[in-house]
Structure 1
Amino acid sequence: MTIIQNHINIDKPVAEVYVFLADLNNHEQLMPDNIYNWSSTADEASFTIKNMAKLALKISQRVENKELVCVPSTETPFAMTLRWKLDALSDNQTKATFMIEAELNMMMKMMASGPLQKLVDHQVATLKSTLG
């Protein structure tokens, strides 16, 4: 299992960060420029990664103000889970951790680790700038 992650502290209450992340419609704002054909509901999202693949995700688990877990809703080249974990650092500060857990063989790990890390880094940075 390969785990790719990053975290950031956001000056917002944990409940506010959770409400934003719990609705997949909001995740389009967190995506990099190479994502297009975005379509979503509160529970599912599908999109195309430029020069790569089409991907569809669904929320498999919500733990209020703590965690949000997404899994592919269609077949993917490798098994993966996308997980947002939230920790209240104070009444107005939240630590948000985004991780991708993927079953990558050595070849896929060499090819995918860099782009996946860039995606994780982009999403946590964009979450902070989006929520202020």
Structure 2
Amino acid sequence: MTTIESKVTVDAPAASVYQFLADLNNHRQLMPENITDWKSTKDEARFNIQNMAKLVLEITNRSPNSEILIAAIENPPFPLQLKWELQEAGTQTHASFTIAAELNMMMKMLAGGQLQKLADYETERLKALVKV
């Protein structure tokens, strides 16, 4: 299992960050430009990664103000789970975004760097979008 992590401190309470992340409709704002054909509900998102793959994500668990688990469903190119963990620190929130993917060595070499860029991009967008 390949684990990729990105952390950020958001200038908002955990409840505000959680409220944003708990609705997959909001996740479109966290995605880079190479994401196309986005369709979502509160619990599910469908999209294409330009020239790569089609993904369907579903929230599998919500723990209010602390954790959100998202799994890739419907035949993803490889098993994939996304996890947002939140920890309140006064008026700020420490957010950790983890991508866990079952990648063979070749896929790790091809996709590992891109997945790290995605994780870093999403946490920076979260920091920019959710504020007091």
| TM-score range for the pair, normalised by the shorter chain length | over 0.9
Task: Give the counterpart letter for 2:14 in structure 1.
Answer: V
Instruction: Supply the distance in 2 between the matched residues of 1:31 and 1:79 (Cα, whole angstroms).
Output: 20
Matches of 2:107 and 2:5, distance apart in 1 = 17
Deviations 1:42-87 (A, max 9, x none): 0000000001011000000100101000001211121110000000
The residue matched to 1:128 in structure 2 has which SS?
A: helix
Q: RMSD value over aligned CA atoms?
A: 0.7
What residue in structure 2 maps to residue 106 of structure 1? 105
> Displacement, 1:89?
1.2
Secondary structure of the equivalent of 2:26?
helix
Residue in 2 that maps onto 1:116? 115
**2:127 alignment partner in structure 1:** 128
Equivalences, count: 131
Q: Secondary structure at the match of 2:42?
A: coil
What SS is found at the alignment partner of 1:98? strand
1:23 aligns with 2:23: yes
Supply the AA of the counterpart residue of 1:121: D
Normalising by structure 1, we get a TM-score of 0.97
> How many Å apart are 1:3 and its aligned residue?
0.5
Counterpart position of 2:55: 55
In 1, Cα distance between equivalents of 2:22 and 2:76: 23
What are the within-5 Å matches in structure 2 for residues 3-22 of structure 1? 3-22=3-22
TM-score of the pair, normalised by structure 2: 0.97
- Tell me the SS of whatever aligns to 1:12: coil
Contact 2:34 2:49 in 1 (8 A): yes
Structure 1: any 5+ residue segments left out of the alignment? none
* Runs of 4+ off more than 3 Å: none
5+ residue gaps, structure 2: none
Q: Percent identity?
A: 52
